[in-house]
Chain A
Amino acid sequence: MTSLVSARGVSKHFGDVRAVDNVSFEIEKGKIMGLIGPNGAGKTTLLKAVLGLTDCDGELSVLGLDPFKQRKELMQNISFIADVAVLPRWIRVTQLLDFMQATHPNFSRSRAEELLARTQVRRDAVVRELSKGMVTQLHLSIITAIDARLLVLDEPTLGLDIIFRKEFYGNLLNDYFDGERTILITTHQVEEIENLLTDIMFINNGGILLDTSMDSLSGTYVELAVVGENADKARRFNPIYERDVFGKKVMTFEGVDRDQLDELGEVHTPSVADLFVAKIKGAAA
């Protein structure tokens, strides 16, 4: 079984609101999947369902388990950070390490100590005394010291400065990710993780807009910058989205041959952020 997460027709309704609406996808072992969507798109609800924090309709299997019913077993092989660093404010760093060691069979204390040694977090500090960045560093150190088959990160670097963010993603790729592990990550700062991801999934209004590997992205999506009358010629290829940049028309195409567009202007692969906007706006238009 290579599929770590498998969703078939997963839905979650809150009254009349369809937070997640009939969603199907697979996440395979060894992938770094970016889940990207605007606020209120259903990202967090979907992640909660994957983590067994909320129940849902449809078929959802994570590591071959029903996440809601077999939560305890699941949590032994999953580690996650929800939304922002939410460590209890009263706990001491050493107490936190003691507790993790006692309750988590896959937690490596020496690994956590090693990761903490690289930070400014003192071992005898109480969480309350730490800055927000340090709390996040502590939380990330603990979570990544768990030998988990699936790591789920929901906005892990929210509120952190750029230096720390770069460092975090660098460590994640170099130290944590080994091709055996799988990471599911959501963030607003798409640009920063673009090079990290192997797969992306766009979600909006509770549905999946795009689910593809980064490798196949350049084959499917093309961005073209044109001026003047070439714009009209380009429009005949049905761009999914069009915007103005410094007097040029920038159009995004799906499934159009690069060579056909090449003679009309500058052609390149859209960034994930631009593609995201194109897909969301294009779907709305």
Chain B
Amino acid sequence: MKFLKKENFEAFAKKISRENDIFYPEQTNGSYRWKKNEGESFSLEGHRTVLPMKYFFFPPGENLKEKERKPAVIFGARGCDLRGLALLKKIYLEEPEDIYFRKDILIFSADCTSAHKDCFCAALGDEPWAEEGFDLNFSFARDGYIVEAGSDKGSEILKNNSGLFEDASNARKREILEVRQKTKETVLKQNGGKNIKPAVIAEKIEKNTDVLAKYAEDCVSCGACTNVCPACFCFFLSEGENNKIRYSDSCQYPGYARVAGGANPRKEMTPRFKHRFLCKFFYRPAMQEIKGCTGCGRCIDGCQGGINFMDVLADIAGAAE
């Protein structure tokens, strides 16, 4: 672990920007949105962005052909984004690999120092900081950042910029725990101290179709929940003029699973609504060994029907066997 003084952060970012496009979470009206850096100063405090990080890796409506572009560095990715990315990588990079899923992006994640009102990661047993999947992670000490390398590329960057970094003292390392704990408590508190076990959800979904059906009454099949989810990966492959195009798609759309003959296993709302929970808590853990929910709460924020997905999970978890 290294220590980066606050006043050295800008010099570090400038140096990185020489060979990379830099993206970071910009705060506007209390929300965070991804922004391309044009040389302005920025900081890493705050919480997850409105849109997930995933679209840097597979932008909606992408023309699937070779592109010339600078590699990118994403500053300020959050733990939820990285947990989502871990699943996306398993899906997209498994053989045969999707060669258009970007691999030239470095991730410089940062601990959350605040929480969006819908964040519930800690209530789901996850942490409001990244534990793996980053190249560098930035944690907050009083007068700067504690920086941890999570990959060979990250270690190399620290080595190449050794003039800007110093060794982190144990006292400073302890300081980051205070920030982490405070954010975690905020998340737990705003979720009433709930402790939802993903494995319990997986077991109980099938037996609680009636609970899901009740919530599904408010669903308007708009697909916002899947579009803003950092772990949802579905797309529709379409024909472009000289290449294929990968459009975002949603299992919540009525025609999603329909075949040409007209058969549709999920034409009704409740099976579609249930499918999303089964996918996240049962199917993906069974097949990819990663759950498909990160507790970021973006689906709650985006839901046009006002469905609180954390409440759905809490109801299923608390329901009778």
Q: Do A and B come from one complex?
A: no
